[in-house]
Amino acid sequence: MSCPQARFCYVLGSLAELAKTFCPELGVKGEFKHEEVTVATIEKQKEPLLAYLRQDIRLLAGVVQRAQDLFWEKYRVDITSCLTLSALAMLIFRARFYKEKAFPIHIPTKNQDAFEKNRRSMEGIVTSIGPTERVFTIMTSTLSTPS
């Protein structure tokens, strides 16, 4: 595998390469001719296909377990709490480098965020209300954000 920056190669590797690197004790990735699987032939290929899939799952679980161990050893973060690599990167950044007291980031609660979206959607609304067709303007600058 050629990779300009070695530390990113693990993310870019195929399952076969990752399994060979991180968990060779689990065996090698099998081969299966996917193009030969059709509705008519799938029943005949059931056992080899299931064996292939089980090995793939075994290897993938081994690689993820090893990655989880590596991230815990190096950064003390649990990768199972992150759904994406960017979330994992942010978790590591905040845990290791971010100085919260020097540069606080305000992350609104669900209620604060919903209030702000509603407030913005009402800015400058002019509407007719009631049978007398009176016109009201909503002045959002007087609204305060909940804490």
Tell me the per-residue pLDDT of 94-134, one tens digit each, with 9 for 90 and over.
Answer: 888 888 888 887 776 777 767 676 666 666 555 555 555 55
Beta bridge partners of 126: 137
For 135, phi and psi rounded to 5 degrees?
Answer: -105, 130
For residue 14, pLDDT beyond 50: yes
pTM of the entire predicted model: 0.59
What pLDDT score does 146 carry?
52
What pLDDT score does 69 carry?
93
Whether the CB-CB separation of 28 and 56 falls below 8 Å is answered with no
How does residue 27 score in pLDDT terms, banded at 50, 70 and 90? very high
**Choice among 17-21, 104-108, 138-142 with the minimum mean pLDDT:** 138-142
